[in-house]
Amino acid sequence: MRVLLFDIDTLRADHMGCYGYGRNTTPVMDEIAKEGVRFDDYYCPNAPCLPSRASMISGQYGIHNGIVGHGGTAADMRLQGITRSFTDDMSENGLFMQFRRAGMHTVSFSSFAERHSAWWFNSGFNECYNVGRRGSESAEMVTPHVLDWLERNGKKDNWMMHVHYWDPHTPYRTPADYPSQFADTPLPDDWIDEKTFEEHLLHIGPHCANEINMWNDDTFPQWPKHPGKLTTLEEAKHLLDLYDDGVKYTDDNIGQIIDWLKENGLYDDDLAIIITADHGEDLGEFGIYGEHGTADEPVCRIPMIVRWPGMQKGAVVKGFYDNTDLTPTVQELLGTPMFSDRYHYDGSSFAKALKDGTDCSKPYAILTQCAHVCQRSARFDDYVYIRTVHGGYHLFPEEMLFNVKEDPHEQHNLAEERPDLCAKGAKMILDWNDKMMKTSHYDVDPMWTVMREGGPEHCRGQLKSYMERLKGTPREYGIELLKEKYGDCE
C-alpha cells in the first residue's frame, strides 16, 4: 500500500471547486474528490497553524494537549510527567506513527517543525526533508524534492508520504513568472461592494485593509505581489485573486505528483490519498484580510478528502467532524494498536463513514483560537456562536452569532436578535469545557494560561504603538474605544 497525505496551509474549503467554488482553483484535487469521500463540514478545532497540527497529530484538543497558541506555555505540548517511559505516549500514538506501526516507510516534506519549534511533529517519520525556509518557501522549492524521492523510491511498496505546501498562506507568494489565473475572472461571490469596503477602511485591528502586514503596511521585496495595504475596492479584489492564485499554484504542483504516479503505473486502487489543511483564511470577513486569526467559519472550516482502497467513491459525508478524528480513523483503517492504555484520543474514527456512509458525526463542533485572539465558538445547525475573551485589538463584541448558510461572510450579527440561540451555543461550549476538564490531567484550561501570560502571542506589546498609528487618521475614533476595552497598555 502507498499513501499520500497533502497537508495544505491556509486552504479554505469554500475556495475549492469540489466544495462549490465558482473559480477553477482546484481541478486536480476535485478529480481526487470524485474518486473518494469528501467531508462537507470538517473543522479545525484549534486554530491557527501550530494548535491545529497539534490536534491533528495527537488526536486531542488543545485543552488536553496544551497547545492553543503560538507563544508562551500554550505553544508547547504538555509534558507527560511521571508516567512517561523511554518515549512519551503522544509521540508513540500520533498520526504519522500509525503508518510506521503498519510497516510503512514514512517520509515528510515540510518545514513546519522548524518554523514552530514543534519537533514532536516529526515523530513517526523515517525521513524528513526541510528546504530551510521556515514556511516562507513556495511549491516549486518543494515539488522537485518530492519527485526526486519518487524517482528513487516510488516503485517500492509500503510507503507513506506527507507533502506540505504553504502557498495559500499569507504573504501570497506565487513566483513572479506565474501569471494571475483569475484577474479576468469575476469573483464567484462578489460580496465586498463599495459600501462594505468603505466600512473596512475604518476597521480597527490588525490585518485590516490599512495594515495587511498585521500592524503596519510594510511590504517585502521577497514577496513583491503581496500588498502592504488596500486603498480601493479593486485592490481588495486583487488580494482575493492572489489568494486563489496560491490555491491554484498548489493544485498545479499536486498535479505534477499525480502525473508522475500515473505515468509510472502507480495511480491504482491500492493508492490512498488524503487532502486536508490546517485552517482557512478570513478574506474580508470582519474587515480582516489575509489572516487566520479568529475562531469563525472561514478560518476553521477546512477540506477533508479521503481516497482509500476499498472505500466509497464519489461520496459526500454530512455532519460535523474535526481534525482530532483523523488519527483514530487511520488507526482503525490500518489496524494498529494503541501504544499505551494511558493515552486517549478526543476524536472518533470515521472509518465507517468512509466505508458505507455510516453517520459518525458530532452533534456540534467547538472551535478555539488563542494565537491572535482568545475566542471559543460553537458550530451547530446553520450557526456559529462566537464568544470573545480577548479580541486581539479588534473591537469584537463579547458574543456574536451568524447564520453561516445564509450569511457565509458573517456580516449580520444576530446575537441581540436571537438570545435563545446564543444561550444554546453558550451551553454547548460550557458542556464541552466541563467534559474536557473532567478528563484532563491538568486543572487549567490553556486558554486562560494565554490570558495570564499577557494575551494572544501576536498582540503582545502592540497596543501602544498601534494607537499611535491611529492618531490623525479617520480611525482615530478607535483609540478611546481600545482604551475602554483593553486599558491604556498591555
Average pLDDT over residues 144-149: 98
Average pLDDT over residues 273-301: 98
pLDDT at residue 477 in the model: 97
Tell me: pLDDT of 487 over 90. Answer: no
The beta strand positions in 352-457, using DSSP E, are 365-369, 374-380, 383-390, 399-403
Tell me: pLDDT of 319 over 90. Answer: yes
Three-state DSSP class for 168? coil
pLDDT digits (tens, 9 = 90+) for 244-274: 999 999 999 999 999 999 999 999 999 999 9
Inter-residue contact 97 to 328 (CB < 8 Å): no
For residues 204 and 186, what is the distance between their CA atoms, to the nearest angstrom? 28
pLDDT at residue 27 in the model: 98
Question: CB neighbours of 165 closer than 8 A, spacing ≥ 6?
Answer: 6, 7, 8, 9, 139, 142, 250, 253, 254
Burial of residue 268 (CB within 10 Å: 0-12, 13-18, 19+) is exposed
Inter-residue contact 174 to 183 (CB < 8 Å): no
Average pLDDT over residues 16-28: 98
Tell me: pLDDT of 362 over 80. Answer: yes
Question: What pLDDT band is residue 488 in, cutting at 50, 70 and 90?
Answer: low
Question: CB neighbours of 130 closer than 8 A, spacing ≥ 6?
Answer: 110, 111, 113, 114
> What cell was used for 71?
507563544
pLDDT digits (tens, 9 = 90+) for 364-389: 999 999 999 999 999 999 999 999 99
The pTM assigned to this predicted structure is 0.98
Average pLDDT over residues 194-211: 97
Three-state DSSP class for 272? strand
Inter-residue contact 63 to 53 (CB < 8 Å): no
- CA angle (204, 187, 394) in 5-degree steps: 10
Burial of residue 148 (CB within 10 Å: 0-12, 13-18, 19+) is exposed
On average, the pLDDT of the chain sits at: 97
Domains of the chain: 2-458 (3.40.720.10)
- % residues pLDDT > 90 (the chain): 99
Question: Hey, what amino acid is at 123?
Answer: S
Inter-residue contact 275 to 32 (CB < 8 Å): yes
- CA angle (456, 227, 23) in 5-degree steps: 95
Centre a 10 Å sphere on the Cβ of residue 407 and count the other Cβ atoms it contains.
Answer: 17
Tell me: pLDDT of 422 over 70. Answer: yes
Dihedral sign for Cα atoms in the order 29, 31, 35, 39: positive
Question: Hey, what amino acid is at 65?
Answer: N
Question: What pLDDT band is residue 445 in, cutting at 50, 70 and 90?
Answer: very high
